[in-house]
Structure 1
Amino acid sequence: EIDNNSLATAIKVATQLEGEKEYQKDTEKVKLAEEELIKKDPRLYMQTIVDAIKDRLEDAGIKVDVRYDLKKGKGKYVGYNFDDMEERLQHFQASKVKLIKKIGEVTEKVKKDIKTIQEQLKSFKSGVNAYLDSFYQKDKAKIDKLENDLINSLSTNQTDSPNKTP
């Protein structure tokens, strides 16, 4: 006859593998072991299942603090429960919307800055100041390229604007 701790260990491993091919091969054996441990020590069985689920969640990257009151047979999930997960999801979605809005605001500011620079370049190019005109004539190719880059940047930002909320 198998002792309770060995049964608990086998059940814990089987619970962690639930859904895997290894588990599907031995479902009947697992059920028999569960039934036997439930008869012999129901509290150990409950604790084993809670521990196995906790370990599986943590393996998946979900941190869980589970406290199980064996005397009362009630589990209490601390820090993560289903209502809390719904709240966290709503908070995450709200944060995402705020972030998208901020990106949109920054994009709008960049667009305004580009337009301001374009206007300053036009003013610079058509200015009556002889010193600035000589500077423009000397570096005309670079300044025209800069202006074209700004125009292209602005048109690209208008088509790929991130301020559209999903």
Structure 2
Amino acid sequence: MTIPVGAYVTAQDTWSTRWRRAEIPAAAGYGNARSVAAVQSVLADGGRTPSARLLSEATCRAALDEQSHGTDLVLGIPVRFGTGYALASDDAPVDTPSPHTCYWGGRGGSLIVNDLDARMTVSYVMNQMTHLGLTDPRGRKLLRAAYEALRG
């Protein structure tokens, strides 16, 4: 398969069977909001599922250890990185009230947020892709509503 050359891959580029069969680790996840939340909630739940322990609490907390902080060279926005996730920070594109939060987004505007203090996972997977990525307001609005609901 020939991957489109250039900094921008369109939504249409990802619709082909060839794209879906390509082994692109950072772009080969397919799921809906429920399935993404089910997998990711293991982190927010301290490594547990309803039936098993998959990670230790220490491993979950280690995801919050800062690895870098600055302008991401691909995204062109400030991002503070932990292990496998972006982390809460004053300049983060995703705003959360908890410092013990990690998040990431997908191609088109999807968003996953794990708040380890609130033991909450918020997942947004859209049915209309955009080019905005982490700056897409749709998932961030859902996240704000989730935190408002927690506050009562």
Q: TM-score interval w.r.t. the shorter chain?
A: under 0.3
* TM-score, length-scaled by structure 1: 0.23
Larger Rg: 1
Answer 1 or 2: which has greater strand percent. 2
